[in-house]
Amino acid sequence: MATRKEYRIKLVSKEFLNSDTCYLGFNCPEIASSAIPGQFVNISAGTVFLKRPFGIASVDIENGIFYIGVKVVGKGTSEISGFETGMDVDCLGPLGNGFDFEGFENIILTGGGTGVFPINFAYETLTAQGKKVTVCEGFRNASQVILNKPAYILTTDCGDTGIKGTVIAGLDTISINDPEKTLVCCVGPIPMMKAVGTWASEKGLKCLVSMEQRMACGAGICLCCTVKVKDDGPDGYKNVRCCKEGPVFDSREVVW
């Protein structure tokens, strides 16, 4: 497991992927070389008090850079998207458990919304390891499509590009030959992860989901990021910390 540390890091690249989403590269050789897919960083958000969590979208180990994608939804993300290259920011990371691909030969990666950022890191890592990877991503419409590659299965709600429908319509086009060796990893909105978990379960596949609860400390202290997971106790569930025990959970364990 990678260590967690606090760093003052420099923003070295910035590009807008569409009108409200930017892609930022930070110089931090420690995070670039130790992060695994599914882990996240907490980035200071200008004048906003608490750092904000973002899934790691890619790493360039040679040049010591890691990347995140930021969709503007409020004050923190608005300030971060306004950062200028060359400025220094405070960062905590890498945080969380990340995906465990051990024992699986075929990996199906599926994402929607800002979930495509951690999915991108998983894709780059697994293809570099020579694993068989299939990617299916879903967006609302063509204007929302980001980080897409020709090899990916693409779906849009309105069908103006790719397959019309949710990612389930895309996943249904994949032939599963060896369920025991096939793992599904999903990052996206809750209804999407729940639906993908059900789809995987019907096919006899293990499915890992990355929960994006609202967070404060990111370090397991404040208990504001809890996720309910199944438990044998009297309540049938227990609360665990998304930032510490997660953000990646087995979809069958999550109390949706």
Ligand X SMILES: Cc1cc2nc3c(=O)[nH]c(=O)nc-3n(C[C@H](O)[C@H](O)[C@H](O)COP(=O)(O)OP(=O)(O)OC[C@H]3O[C@@H](n4cnc5c(N)ncnc54)[C@H](O)[C@@H]3O)c2cc1C
Residue from 32, 35, 44, 53 that binds ligand X (CB under 6 A)? 53
**Could you give the CA distance from residue 17 to residue 168 in angstroms, rounded to a whole number?**
25
Residue from 7, 23, 26, 40 that binds ligand X (CB under 6 A)? 40
Pick from 210, 219, 192, 199: which is nearest to 57 by CA? 210
Asked if 98 touches ligand X (CB under 6 A), the answer is no
Indicate left, alpha or beta for 93 from its phi (over 0: left) and psi (-120 to 50: alpha): left
Check: CB of residue 24 under 8 Å from CB of residue 66: no
Whole-number minimum distance, CB 70 to ligand FES, in Å? 18
**Could you give the CA distance from residue 22 to residue 216 in angstroms, rounded to a whole number?**
22
Site for ligand FES in 92-121 (CB under 6 A): none
Asked if 1 touches ligand X (CB under 6 A), the answer is no
Contacts of 128 (CB under 8 A, 6+ apart): none
Residue from 1, 190, 222, 255 that binds ligand FES (CB under 6 A)? 222
Residue from 73, 87, 221, 223 that binds ligand X (CB under 6 A)? 73
CA 229 to chain centre: 19
The smaller minimum CB distance to ligand X, of residues 25 and 69, is found at 69
Residue from 23, 67, 99, 117 that binds ligand X (CB under 6 A)? 117
Summarize as ranges the residues that interact with ligand X (CB under 6 A).
40, 48, 52-55, 68-71, 73-77, 114, 117, 212-215, 247
